[in-house]
Amino acid sequence: MDADFQYFYEKEGFGPADHTQLVPAEKIHRFRGKLPDQLLKYWEMYGWSGYGSGRLWVVDPDVYEPVMRAWLANTPFLEQDLFYVIARGAFGRLFLWGTRSGPSIEINSPWGTIFPRDNSVAIRAGRADTILRYFFSKFTKERLDQQDSLRRPLFERAVKALGPLLPNEMYGFEPALVLGGKADLKNLNRVDAVQHLTILAQLGDRKIMRDIAADARNAGLV
């Protein structure tokens, strides 16, 4: 276990892994050269698993390809890079890795927002494995939680009220927040993740946020 993953696993309290699914060798071969070698090592060592009692899930990108395409449809991103969903949160936050741009897209699906961040300079410099390790070490349980309408964290209350998630599930708001639903525990349900995320991508306008880091670079500030 490298120091960054150990920090994520032990210091931030995301271990132990649960609901582990062993990754077939052919999957490792298929994604070699598309995803960082470091991520493939994690797959080999820990499989596709849930962490933090289900707050974060490391997933099979093939399963989530329809979700990725639904969210990035009619955006410029699909023409810029090859993207893969490598992890998701309990409430539908999606983390995408681009072959040329690294961990460059984060999607907050309940609110329909897409956050781009181009890491292509670092990827071209051969730092994909370093960036991948940092990607895990910066997670906190608070970051992956969802606040209710009174700004109170929902995850632990959702587990108590609805039960822990299975690997194919997430906590979803019904009605959806983008349709005016309220972020309250009583509106949460355990839902099929792929199905729910695909539906959310089709509700309302997706909001693409500004890449603040790119703006700073273009302005010569970094």
Domain boundary assignment for the chain: 3-217
Dist CA 65 CA 135 (whole Å): 20
**How many other C-beta atoms are found inside a 10 Å radius of the C-beta of residue 10?**
12
Which band of pLDDT confidence, cut at 50, 70 and 90, is reported for residue 213? low
Q: pLDDT per residue over 129-168, tens digit each?
A: 999 999 999 999 999 999 999 999 999 999 999 999 999 9
Residue type, 168: N
Which band of pLDDT confidence, cut at 50, 70 and 90, is reported for residue 1? confident
pLDDT at 210 over 90: no
- The whole-model pTM stands at 0.94
Tokens describing residue 28: 């490792």
Average pLDDT along the chain: 93
pLDDT at 68 over 60: yes
Q: pLDDT per residue over 161-204, tens digit each?
A: 999 999 999 999 999 999 999 999 999 999 999 999 999 999 97
* Rounded (10°) CA dihedral 106, 178, 215, 94: 0
Dist CA 50 CA 87 (whole Å): 10
Q: Please, are residues 178 and 200 in contact by the beta-carbon 8 Å criterion?
A: yes
Helix (H, G, I), strand (E, B) or coil at 105: strand
The partner residues of 169 in beta bridges, in order of sequence, read 192
